[in-house]
Amino acid sequence: MLSRIAESLFWIGRYVERADNTARLLDVHLNVLLEDPWVDEPSANASLLAVMNCQFEEPVSRTDVLRQLAFDSDSASSIAGTLGAARENARRAREVISTEVWESLNITRMDLRRWNRASQPHEYFVWVRERAAVVWGLSSATTSRDDAWHFMELGRSLERADMIARLLMTRNLEGTTGPNWTTLLRTCSAHEAYLRTVRALVTEERAAEFLLIDRLFPRSIAYNLDRAETVLGQIEGAESNRALAGRARLALGRARTNLEYSPVREILDDLVPQMQEVQRACATASDLIRDRYFLPAATVTWNQEAL
């Protein structure tokens, strides 16, 4: 697989997953603003933007949040921006992705125009989640499990781990009590799975444990870190022991074991730094993957003089 194509596939995976999770996160945020009677909206909004690593000027209104995270078509943090970027990357990798996946991404980008700022945000978020599901469904049904699949899957699992960590950080937003754990579980589509697995009412520790380290649920952080590690191993294949990829797995593995082997109470008391640690591990891994697979060491450039 060409390095350039692999990079595009990796980012398609990340962008689509980011759009999906941003929609979930915004949906729950708007809900909190509605339901929390003592909410200090501007600071809640500001700290949400901080969680998503966005620039902002206070006071931040609800419209600002929606603009920056939902509708801005030039930002790598907004739904519209990431869906557009996913489609651009798909165009670059058009000959390796299947026609079905390409058309689903292309149509998604075209239909984005229908959603303007004034329309019901909740419907928009539902639509975004649906489109992401269509993309994943088609790609899982039409892609060979070769490197093309692996790089997309790698991007997707890294992004999902990162975004769930950000979502959990909203538990401690400024100016509001934040979403309760049942809401967080619902946001991750995890409430039913939780009830079946834990067979008990939602308690803080149990719910946190489920979203952090459940080994079987596909939207827990540890599950996705583990998935990324496995995929990295598959990409390396026979030629393992290559230092850079090994280091990427190391970063992910350390973050995962830290969650798995720490008492859940400890993590909860220290939630924000712990979640930032997860995000940092994902970023480090992403950089190392880029260095190893996307930018070969010996890049020759011509010095622009004719012989």
| Interface residue list for other proteins (CB under 8 A) | 1-6, 88, 91-92, 94-95, 99, 102-103, 106-107, 110, 147, 151, 235, 239, 293-294, 296, 298, 300, 302, 304-307
How many Cα neighbours within 13 Å face the side chain of 264?
12
Sign of the CA dihedral with 188 first, then 194, 196, and 200 last:
negative
Q: Which amino acid is located at 222 in the chain?
A: A
State in angstroms the smallest separation of the CB of 223 from other proteins.
25
Cα dihedral value 90, 96, 99, 103, nearest 10:
0
State in angstroms the smallest separation of the CB of 233 from other proteins.
14
Residue 161's region, left for phi above 0, alpha for psi from -120 to 50, else beta, is alpha
State in angstroms the smallest separation of the CB of 23 from other proteins.
23
Nearer to other proteins, 3 or 203 (CB): 3
Nearer to other proteins, 99 or 257 (CB): 99
Nearer to other proteins, 143 or 170 (CB): 143
Nearer to other proteins, 4 or 122 (CB): 4
State in angstroms the smallest separation of the CB of 152 from other proteins.
13
Report the distance separating Cα 150 and Cα 127, nearest Å. Answer: 26
State in angstroms the smallest separation of the CB of 245 from other proteins.
10
Output DSSP code: residue 239: S
Report the distance separating Cα 248 and Cα 65, nearest Å. Answer: 33
Nearer to other proteins, 88 or 174 (CB): 88
C-beta separation of 168 from 271 below 8 A? yes
Output DSSP code: residue 75: -
Q: How long a stretch of residues is the chain?
A: 307
Specify the 3-state DSSP secondary structure of 120.
coil
Nearer to other proteins, 116 or 120 (CB): 116
State in angstroms the smallest separation of the CB of 81 from other proteins.
17
